[in-house]
Amino acid sequence: MSAENGGAETTVARRAFAVRLRSREQLAGLIVKMPCASLLETAGYSGFDFAVIDTEHGPGDGEMLEHHVRAADSAGLPVLVRVTGSAAGEILHALDAGAAGIVAPHVRDAAACEAVVRAAHYPPRGSRGLATSTRAGFHGTTSVAAHLRDASERTVVIAQLEHGDAVEHAASIAAVPQLDAVFIGPSDLSISLGHPGERDHPAVRDAIERASAAVLGGGEAALCMLADDEPAARAARAAGATLVVFAAPQLIAARLRTLVAALRASSPEVTESTLEVRG
């Protein structure tokens, strides 16, 4: 069925996600790296509100990306794509593949943010190229008018703030019209401040707190933060973040380490006599 007659469940899901985000609902997302089609389906069935396919630090093949968005759609899971930069062509490809929106890394000031927003939206707001023959246009089965209306209502744009010099521009970044959220990236922020990986270093914590306050203090953009576990997620929400994202590789690795450590701790000590009996 076409998107025009209301039969496309994916259109409904993406619009609902955009509305929930803009209404400041508490939403939980999962960052994944391709190939991960079954993981996206599992995340959807498990109740995650959205997922982020990371092509900045993972494979970014166009055909693979489209298949992964399709897998997420099958589980009713809206997907954002973290692109590698702010190039208009890359943003276009992600949205044409059917993504609910994009996450643009390394946004340092309002001018850079404005360029990202323009690339993600059609005229008159932006400069996105038009084609309804794409997956986002239901392969030509929807009208131009319906496609433009859908894109205008549900396209989500998130800017990632992850440099020390961007902290001073956080308020003006958050104030860019039709920017939906600012995602504070602690890893790159820490290395830009000279403390790689030290998220709890006073300078890093101060930068995160100042950026968060600036985002929350002005503009319409929501605050998005990364969490390693449940306590970190609760802390992020207490700090004002309505979007909290977990990185699937770290979650899986942490669980595997815990599982192996528990098994080793409960295993009987292997001695030479034990080995002789087993022999």
- Nearest-10 crossing angle of helices 9-22, 144-154: 30
Q: Does 57 qualify as catalytic in the annotation? A: yes
Alpha helices in 60-155 (DSSP H): 62-74, 88-96, 110-120, 144-154
Catalytic residue among 57, 67, 195, 201: 57
Q: Is 74 helix (H, G, I), strand (E, B) or coil?
A: helix
Nearest to 97 by CA among 181, 23, 22, 34: 34
8 Å CB contact between 159 and 116: yes
Question: What does the chain come to in residues?
Answer: 279
| CA dist., res. 113 & res. 206, Å (int) | 23
Burial (0-12, 13-18, 19+ Cβ within 10 Å), 81: buried
Active site residues: 57
